[in-house]
Amino acid sequence: MLHLEREGIVRVKGLPFVARFKWSTGFLMERFIKSLAEKKLLGAKCPSCGYTYVPPRSRCGKCLTKLGEKNLVELSGRGVLVGYTTAYVGLDGEGNFVDLEKPRVIGAIKLEGADSTIFMPIGEIDPEGVREGMEVEPKWREATRGELADIEYFKPSR
């Protein structure tokens, strides 16, 4: 009907009683995710205080400066492991704990040029050999698609 178009109304055809969500990420986060397709890691560098966020965000949490596309910076992808844990127990997808066949290392990584840290699985590593300060780099999946899953894990730099 004409008035619906004029008012920009989205007609609802029913109420499917299931709970799913599709959170909008915001423009800078969308750029970050899309850039993964080109194996690029973007951050946002605050022009006022210099703090660099990965992933990028639109308002500096330190000094409240508004950040935009012009504040995006490309990072090398190399980083340093600043903290880690080794998981021996996982979930089976149905709420049950299962013992992992191989322990899994998860670490906090400070990327070169960034001030914030990201948390990622660490692969190609012997859990006994993990140390703070290790240099790491991303292991990209074969065909990147512009999704968070494009980075499979971080691995020690050779």
Partner 1 sequence: MMFRNVAIIGCGQTKHSSKRRDVSLPEMIEEAAWRAMEDAQVTPEEIDAIVVGNMQGFGGVAQPDQWIGDWIGAPGKPVMRIATGGTTGGSVGQGAIYAVASGMYDKVLAVAWEKHSDSKEPGATTGLLHVALANFFHAFNYGMNLKSLVATTVVGAAAGVAVYQAMFYMHRSGCRIEHFDMVAAKSRRNAAKNKYAHLQWPGCTPEDIAKTEMVAYPFRFGHICPASDGASAIVVAAEDIAKKKEDKAWVKGLASYSDEENQLMSESYGGVGILDASEQMGCRVSAMKAYRMAGITDPKREIDVAEIYQPFPSQELIFAERLGLFDEGKAWVALEEGEMEIDGRMPTDPSGGVLATNAIGSSALQRILEAALQVMGKAEEHQVPKEVRNAVAHGWGGVTNYTTVTVLGDSPR
- Single-letter code of the amino acid located at 24: S
Interaction between residue 18 and partner 1 (CB under 8 A): yes
Residues whose CB is less than 8 angstroms from the CB of residue 7 and which lie 6 or more positions away in sequence, other chains included: none
Residues whose CB is less than 8 angstroms from the CB of residue 123 and which lie 6 or more positions away in sequence, other chains included: 105, 139, 152, 153, 154, 155
The residue within the footprint of partner 1, chosen from 48, 49, 50, 61 (CB under 8 A), is: 61
Interaction between residue 59 and Zn ion (CB under 5 A): no
Binding partner selected for residue 142 from Zn ion, partner 1, none, CB under the kind-specific 5 to 8 Å limit: none
The residue within the footprint of Zn ion, chosen from 41, 42, 44, 60 (CB under 5 A), is: 60
Interaction between residue 22 and partner 1 (CB under 8 A): yes
For residue 157, how far is the Cα from the chain centroid?
Answer: 20
Interaction between residue 66 and Zn ion (CB under 5 A): no
Interaction between residue 148 and partner 1 (CB under 8 A): no
Tokens standing for residue 125: 């590593």
Interaction between residue 48 and Zn ion (CB under 5 A): yes
For tokens 């996982």, name the residue.
90
β-sheet with 72-75: strand ranges across: 52-53, 41-45, 72-75
Interaction between residue 15 and partner 1 (CB under 8 A): yes
Rule CB under 8 A: which residues touch partner 1? 1, 3, 6-10, 12-27, 29, 57-59, 61, 64
